[in-house]
Structure 1
Amino acid sequence: MDSKRLSAHASNASTDFTQSVEDDPLIDGPLISQDALQSAIKREFQGLPTNWIAGILTVVHVAYVSVCVVLAVLCWLTDDHSKECKAALNGVDTQTVVLLGKVGMWLLMFMFERCVQHHHSAVRRRGYLQFYRTTRNLKRLPLLIHSAGNAAVLVVIAPSSLLDEKVKNLSVYLLLVIICVELLVTLICLLVYTVHVSRFNAQRPGPDISEEERSHAYSTNASDMHTETGFRDGSCLDEVVEKQADLIEYLKQHNTLLSKRILALTSQQIRD
């Protein structure tokens, strides 16, 4: 009796499954091969061009500081080449040229920060969340350094007459020290940033979620299978929430792209 009930139950379940398959319009459609779907959603790696921009900015910054030192030594601290300096600068004061160049360098740093932010936001949308967080503060440092340098220059230039009365050309020496220190710190930041970006471009990694799944797939020890999106003792809750929000945003964009690709491939196979 029990065997009859089991067989009847199995036949009913098989009938229900068959009906559900027949009623599902997606299953009646043409099947999409896994290779075609993966090739459709696989994105080609896009490197960051900001390392070249940082290199060009470094050269410009070194040239500016070199010009400032030459002008200060030849035209500002001594009067031996005053006529040649006036002819070369078209009568413009040396201090004015140095300060205008300082403002120009700050504008270049501002444009560099905006350009880098644009490219890094695109990298973040493509799923490279760890790289974005690693360089988030580093890319802002050159602009912050030059902003602090501008404030220090104002502090020196404003009481320059009082400083020069105590020590001859003291304001000029302080201005050169500020510019040189600013150059040194900015070069370190730009060099570290260039190394990060060059390494990222050379490795050509996949999105963070893909790299994590790949590492889990090759992991043989269950204890090694972990993720950085969970909360652990000693971790910062704000950072965990930010990571989860970034990951959810990327997965939503990825699912949207995947849905569009599936619909496009399905309609293409129907037409064929």
Structure 2
Amino acid sequence: MDSKGPSLYAPAGTSVDMSRSLDEDSLVDGPLISADALHSAIRREFQTLPTPCYASLLSVLHAVYVVLSVCVAVLCVLKLGQEEVCVSILGNVRNDSVIVFGKVCLWVLVLLFTRCVQHHHSQARSRGYLRFYRQMQGLKYLPLTVHSAGNVLLLVVLAAQLSQTVHIYMLLIILGLELLVSVPCLLHYTVKVMQFNRERAAPDVSQEEYSHNFSITSVPTETGFREGSSLEEVVDKQADLIEYLKQHNTLLSKRLLNLTAQH
């Protein structure tokens, strides 16, 4: 009985080996996709952010508004120029009201700019640029914060019922402070985003994988919990990473199918 045991199970082992060899042969005979082709396909996925153009345009509009407000205040409100020209242009509208209405319109533009920036940054976050998204998290909201604070100061000045001269000088001081703080923030944001667009870096996951493959002592990633880190922040980062990996795997599957069909 013991001598017959191996012979009974020998055909089954042979069939398993033959099926494995056939499967391996079918995989080997299939079209091979080079790493360079796949890497080049992934690199083409990078999309630049158009927000630097919007930030530059907003900076120019802000500067133009402040210059026009100073001209209106000096020539029309303080009456140090040609009053007839102001009346012909502004009509029966109060001169300081024109400056306030312009301030409201400028705040609306800043709000739209912030929403647009948030939209494009969220798309960059979904493409795997989590580090860039978090670095720009505070900077992209700073202009809106500055203009909102300026609106609060403007309401305080209007409610104080100061004399016309003091009132207009306080208004110009507020507008000047906004310009000195908001425009440098927009310029700094523009430089950071233009640098990001120029580098055309791979997503964070690809960069970490590259550093792990070619460095002995690699820098630890931020996806795990470590001492001194907030649990809520870690969970948020992991959720972002999982969402990106799902989209990345779907995109890679499409790329593989396209490249396989081409070969």
TM-score interval, normalised by the smaller of the two chains:
0.7 to 0.9
Task: Please give the residue correspondences for 1:251-270 in structure 2 after superposition, counting only pairs within 5 Å.
Answer: 251-267=245-261, 269=263
The corresponding residue for 2:16 is 16
Stretches of structure 1 that go unaligned for 5 or more consecutive residues are none
The corresponding residue for 1:107 is 108
Is 2:33–2:259's contact at 8 Å kept on the other side of the alignment?
A: no
CA–CA separation in structure 1 for the residues paired with 2:254 and 2:198: 31
The corresponding residue for 2:95 is 94
> What do residues 227-248 of structure 1 show as CA deviations (whole Å, max 9, x unaligned)?
1212211112222111111111
The corresponding residue for 1:190 is 186
Please state how far the C-alpha of 1:29 moved relative to its aligned partner.
7.2
Q: Do residues 119 (structure 1) and 113 (structure 2) align?
A: no
Stretches of structure 2 that go unaligned for 5 or more consecutive residues are none
CA–CA separation in structure 2 for the residues paired with 1:11 and 1:38: 45
CA–CA separation in structure 1 for the residues paired with 2:246 and 2:189: 30
Please state how far the C-alpha of 1:197 moved relative to its aligned partner.
0.6
Q: Do residues 174 (structure 1) and 175 (structure 2) align?
A: no
SS of the aligned residue for 2:154 comes to helix
Task: Please give the residue correspondences for 1:1-272 in structure 2 after superposition, counting only pairs within 5 Å.
Answer: 16-22=16-22, 27=27, 30-35=30-35, 36-78=37-79, 80-160=81-161, 163-164=162-163, 169-220=165-216, 222=217, 224-267=218-261, 269=263
What value does the CA root-mean-square deviation take over the aligned residues? Answer: 2.9
- State percent identity of aligned pairs: 50
Please state how far the C-alpha of 1:54 moved relative to its aligned partner.
0.7
CA–CA separation in structure 2 for the residues paired with 1:159 and 1:22: 88
TM, length-normalised to structure 1: 0.83
Is 1:21–1:27's contact at 8 Å kept on the other side of the alignment?
A: no
CA–CA separation in structure 2 for the residues paired with 1:77 and 1:106: 25
The structure-2 alpha-carbon separation of the partners of 1:30 and 1:83, relative to structure 1 and needing over 3 Å to count, comes to: same
CA–CA separation in structure 1 for the residues paired with 2:176 and 2:38: 56
Is 1:22–1:28's contact at 8 Å kept on the other side of the alignment?
A: no
Please state how far the C-alpha of 1:26 moved relative to its aligned partner.
7.2
Please state how far the C-alpha of 1:82 moved relative to its aligned partner.
1.8
> What do residues 193-213 of structure 1 show as CA deviations (whole Å, max 9, x unaligned)?
112112112222111111111
Question: What letter is aligned with 1:199?
Answer: Q
SS of the aligned residue for 2:254 comes to helix
CA–CA separation in structure 2 for the residues paired with 1:13 and 1:253: 41
Aligned residues: 257
The structure-2 alpha-carbon separation of the partners of 1:18 and 1:225, relative to structure 1 and needing over 3 Å to count, comes to: farther
The structure-2 alpha-carbon separation of the partners of 1:209 and 1:185, relative to structure 1 and needing over 3 Å to count, comes to: same
Question: What letter is aligned with 1:48?
Answer: L
